[in-house]
Structures are given as structure tokens and as C-alpha cells.
Amino acid sequence: KAGVTQTPRYLIKTRGQQVTLSCSPISGHRSVSWYQQTPGQGLQFLFEYFSETQRNKGNFPGRFSGRQFSNSRSEMNVSTLELGDSALYLCASSLDTGAQDTQYFGPGTRLTVL
Amino acid sequence: AQSVTQLGSHVSVSEGALVLLRCNYSSSVPPYLFWYVQYPNQGLQLLLKYTSAATLVKGINGFEAEFKKSETSFHLTKPSAHMSDAAEYFCAVSGRGGGADGLTFGKGTHLIIQP
């Protein structure tokens, strides 16, 4: 089975712009979660989608949003980019949403905000 | 609320020596615990997970971890380090099922292997 794929792998944007990142989960997985990884804050949960519905959301401002499509693919959007949004954004998929369900991670999208 | 503490942001061992990476957790619900490894410029790869079936969990690449409820610990070990083990290791606790927010990660431990 193909793993989780994320596109693009690298992005450079300027402050004030918006960006959309894409994630394709492992075939058959219905849950997609997004995480932000920075040197200072480490790995932080952004949100989780299941059956096109947001189930949980982390402590991030409303500039961060996402959605999930009927084929389980997911996108996240960051509007009005700030320098502090520079990070590695990781997508993870799992079969379902149980606590024991393993989340499988993609390679990430490296976003640089100038 | 869940939290994870990884003791030691950097751990250095010699090739062939025992690897011990420490993880302590706090959870308000029965914990499901995970260890992930991250190589440079890559995503996270699952090493192993604890789901209450057995306290000693064996994972990939010769790693294992023991769940100790009394110590709220889930330390990762490997009997003999290999150069290819050099990477960043993350311990995580799942908040799902308890109405919480995805995986909560520790700050990570950078494992350095000395030749």
C-alpha cells in the first residue's frame, strides 16, 4: 500500500499570503489529522477530520482551517501568513478515530514564510 | 489532559551499547502510548505502540518498550545501538477516546551514535 502523501513538499511564501497544503491518506483510512512541527514548540496537534467532519481542533487561531473530501483526501489552509507559521506541517492518517488506532505520517510540507 | 515528558533532549551512546530513551506520561484516561522515530527531512515512523495487551511491547528495528503504570513510564530500549539508529525519537500519548486532541508528543530526544 502506498503511504501518506503530502504536496507540495516545500513552499516559500511571504507574510500576508495564504497557503493550501494537501494530504492523501493511506487507502482505506478515513481519519486525517494535521500537526505542526517547529523547533520551539515541537509537535502540536492542529485538527482531525473524519468523514468530511472536523472532530477535534487544537489550540490554533482561526487562520488555520482544513477540510476533508469524500475520498478522505484533506487540505489545510493558512490565511494571512505570519513569520511564526514557518514550520513542517505533517499529515497523519488512521483507519478510524479510536485512541488505539495508529496514525501513519506523511513526509510533511516544509513551509517557509518570509 | 495528557502530557508527555522525555528526559534528555540529547542522548549519546557508543555503537553496540544499550540505548535507553526515557518517557513519562500523564493521562486522565487509560493511556495508549506510541514511540515514533524521525529521520532528517522525513515524517514520523511508528516504532511501537502500547494498547494494554501486554506491558512489554516489541517494535521494529530491535526496539522495545515497557509500560509501567506505577511509574507512569514507557521507556524505549534497544540492546545494541547501530549507526543507523541516529535520529530524533518522540514519545506520544493518544488523547482520542477521551474527547481530547489527537496525539500529544514529548519534546523529542535526539539519539547520537558514537562510532
pLDDT tens digit string along B57-89?
999 999 999 999 889 999 999 999 999 999 999
Average pLDDT, chain B: 90
Q: How far is CA B59 from CA A19, A57, A93, B62, B69, in A?
A: 37, 30, 20, 6, 19
Q: How confident is the model at residue B99 (pLDDT cuts 50, 70, 90)?
A: very low
pLDDT at A97: 76
Closest CA to B109 of B36, B2, B56: B36
Q: Which three cell numbers stand for residue A40?
A: 520551539
Q: What are the CA-CA distances from residue A77 to residues A38, A41, A54, A68, A89 (Å)?
A: 18, 20, 14, 12, 11
| Shortest Cα–Cα distance, A7 to chain B (Å) | 13
Instruction: Tell me how far apart the alpha carbons of residues A87 and A71 are, in angstroms, rounded to a whole number.
Output: 27
Give which of B45, B41, B40, B42 is closest to B63, Cα–Cα: B45
| Alpha-carbon gap, residue B73 to B87, rounded angstroms | 21
Query: What per-residue confidence (pLDDT) applies to B101?
Result: 63
Inter-chain touch B46–A104, beta carbons under 8 Å: yes
In this prediction, residues A52-67 reach a mean pLDDT of 93
User: Cα(A67)–Cα(B39) distance, rounded to whole angstroms?
Assistant: 28
> Does B103 contact A97 at a Cβ distance shorter than 8 Å?
no
**What is the band of B94 on the pLDDT scale with cuts at 50, 70, 90?**
confident
Q: Do A42 and B105 touch (CB under 8 A)?
A: yes
Q: For residue B112, with 0-12 CB atoms within 10 Å meaning exposed, 13-18 middle and 19 or more buried, which class applies?
A: middle
Q: Is the pLDDT of residue A95 over 50?
A: yes
> Between the CA atoms of B77, B81, B63 and A38, what dihedral angle is there, to the nearest 10 degrees?
80
Selected residue of B39, B52, B96, B107 to mutate for chain A interface (largest A Cβ count, 10 A): B96
Q: How much is the pLDDT for A56?
A: 86
> Residue B1 has what pLDDT?
73
**What's the rounded mean pLDDT across residues A12-26?**
98
Torsions phi, psi for B45 (to 5 deg):
-115, 130
Please state which of the ranges A31-40, B84-93, B95-104 shows the lowest mean pLDDT.
B95-104
Q: Is the peptide bond before A8 cis (omega within 30 degrees of 0)?
A: yes
A80 CA to chain B: closest CA distance, Å? 25
Instruction: Please tell me the number of Cα atoms within 13 Å of A101 on its side-chain side.
Output: 17
8-state DSSP, A83: G
pLDDT score for B97: 52
CA distance B102 to chain A (A): 6
Instruction: Look over chain A and give the mean of its residue pLDDT values, rounded to a whole number.
Output: 94
With b for 16 or more beta-carbon neighbours within 10 A and e for fewer, the A20-44 pattern comes to: ebebbbbeebbbbbbbbbeeeebbb
